[in-house]
Amino acid sequence: MNTPKAVSVTEESQPDGWTPTAGYTGELDPAGPTRLVISLPADQLQKVHTALVSVMAVPLGLLYRRMVNRKTPRPSHMPPEDFVSLELTKPQLLDTLQANAPLVYHDARAEYWIRGKMGEQVVMDCDGLLYCYPDDPLFRDVLDSMGIPDTAIQTMAERDYVKHWFHSEADDGETALMSALSLQQVPHRKG
């Protein structure tokens, strides 16, 4: 499976030819804090995500926010299902993400909220966009060193129609990820 998490499509659900370009910009989150918004082509997502998580302070926590449950579908108006693991080491988390790359980087069923010891966060949404909280030189240095330009760009979130991919082949990866990181379901809270 080599698809991006999401593709821009026409109203008739046909690919429209638009693909994300690499770039990032700082902004004020609607909730108040500063953040970086990072858009990447699908072939750069894993490398950049890994590099950003690698500079975070340990221990790390992961919120796996499942938006779509492929195994047990729920009505679309239901809130996401949240699963959490705390006190993770970088190797433990990064090795598990790598081992389950088809799920993490090519399937749109979940968001990944990674939080470091200092409260810093790297979030990957279902469109494949990355968000870093706060807008900090630590994250900017990583992006700059990887040649990701600090420039205003159009992101998948701004497209009129987006098609998301949910792969049956990623179902086993979801089970493996939950087991390897001892993810525990918690009540959903907006975040």
- Is residue 150 a part of any domain in this protein? yes
Domain count, the chain: 1
Q: What percent of the chain stands above pLDDT 90?
A: 87
Count Cβ atoms within 10 A of the Cβ of residue 137 and give its class: 0-12 exposed, 13-18 middle, 19 or more buried. exposed
Q: Is 171 helix (H, G, I), strand (E, B) or coil?
A: helix
The answer to whether residue 191 is domain-embedded is no
Residue 1: inside a domain: no
Give a yes or no: residue 136 inside a domain: yes
Condensed to tens digits (0 to 9), the pLDDT of residues 162-173 reads 999 999 999 999
Per residue in 92-150, pLDDT tens? 999 999 999 999 999 999 999 999 999 999 999 999 999 999 999 999 999 999 999 99
Flag whether pLDDT at 179 surpasses 90. Answer: yes
| pLDDT of the residue at 135 | 96
What residue numbers bound the domain in which 131 lies? 6-186
> Model-level pTM?
0.94
Does 31 fall in a domain? yes
- What is the per-residue burial (b if ≥16 Cβ within 10 Å, else e) of 89-102? ebebbbebbeebbb
CA 10 to chain centre: 24
Q: At what angle do helices 90-99 and 42-54 cross, to 10 degrees?
A: 170
Per-residue pLDDT, 191: 61
